């Protein structure tokens, strides 16, 4: 499932941007005198490499706030289907038609897989909901789902073999099976 795009005006190029790191030649004399700069990603020295790893870890940690997701009919759901991408859209239709039949199911659709919206999933698990992960592979995201909810719940898994394009009807039986399982 594709997210809608938001058009925006690109920022004007600031000719002074990057004055602290850009490479335009290193004057060795005069007013602009400075040491030569190196843009690199190869850090072989002992402490240097550890420093770089720390810096990267801080960056990955900062990404966590970018985690994004969509929920559908989860409020009173007993079972939450977790699915992403095109399978997320198909699962949404399956959930919609099961709701019309009065089944208490909902959908949790991560928009970002990395960072994974683990806090939001954990919150649903705390509320006592059960989970079914549906994936268009043999089970990858399910590992993240299980890690996120591990203190309170587990997740069932239904896999669609890559190469087949399922319809919403194909998901109804597995969802009902998971709903019926206590």
Partner 1 sequence: MPKTQGAASAPKTNQTGEELVFTRPASMVDRATHYCPGCHHGIAHRLVGELIDELGLKENTVAVCSIGCSVFLYNYIDVDSVEAPHGRAPAVATGVKRARPDKFVFTYQGDGDLASIGMAEIMHAANRGERMSVVFVNNTVYGMTGGQMAPTTLIGQKTTTCPGGRCKDREGSPIRMSEIIAHLGGTAFCARGSLDSVKNIRQAKKYMRQAFEVQTKGLGFGFVELLAGCPTNWRLSPLAANKRITDEMIPYFPLGVFKEVEGDGTCGSMLAPESAPGAEGGK
**Interacting residues toward partner 1 by CB under 8 A:** 23-28, 36-42
Q: How far is the CB of 31 from partner 1 (least distance, A)?
A: 12
Cβ within 8 Å of residue 119, ≥6 positions away: 67, 148
Beta carbon nearer to partner 1, 38 or 100: 38
Contacts 24+ apart (CB under 8 A), 89-96: 89/1, 90/166, 90/167, 90/168, 90/171, 91/134, 91/168, 91/171, 93/168, 94/168, 94/169, 94/171, 94/172, 94/175, 95/175, 96/72
Beta carbon nearer to partner 1, 3 or 16: 16
Beta carbon nearer to partner 1, 15 or 102: 15
Beta carbon nearer to partner 1, 31 or 101: 31
Beta carbon nearer to partner 1, 23 or 66: 23
The DSSP 8-state label assigned to residue 67 in this structure reads: -
Q: How many CA atoms lie within 13 A of 10 on its CB side?
A: 3
Q: How far is the CB of 78 from partner 1 (least distance, A)?
A: 51
Q: How far is the CB of 22 from partner 1 (least distance, A)?
A: 9
Q: How far is the CB of 54 from partner 1 (least distance, A)?
A: 20
Q: How far is the CB of 36 from partner 1 (least distance, A)?
A: 5
SS3 98: helix
């Amino acid at each position: 499932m594709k997210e809608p795009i938001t058009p925006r005006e690109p920022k004007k190029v600031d000719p002074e941007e990057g004055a602290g790191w850009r490479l335009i030649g290193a004057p060795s004399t005069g007013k602009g005198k400075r040491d030569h700069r190196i843009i690199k990603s190869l850090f072989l020295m002992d402490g240097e490499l550890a420093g770089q790893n720390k810096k990267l870890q801080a960056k990955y940690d900062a990404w966590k706030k970018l985690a994004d997701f969509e929920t559908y009919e989860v409020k009173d759901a007993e079972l939450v289907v977790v699915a992403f991408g095109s399978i997320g859209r198909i699962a949404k239709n399956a959930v919609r038609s099961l709701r019309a039949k009065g089944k208490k199911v909902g959908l949790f659709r991560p928009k970002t897989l990395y960072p994974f919206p683990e806090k939001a999933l954990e919150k649903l698990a705390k509320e006592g909901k059960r989970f079914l992960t549906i994936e268009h592979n043999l089970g990858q995201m399910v590992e993240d789902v299980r890690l996120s909810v591990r203190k309170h719940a587990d997740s069932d898994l239904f896999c669609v073999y890559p190469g087949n394009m399922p319809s919403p009807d194909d998901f109804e039986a597995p969802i009902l099976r998971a709903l019926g399982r206590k």
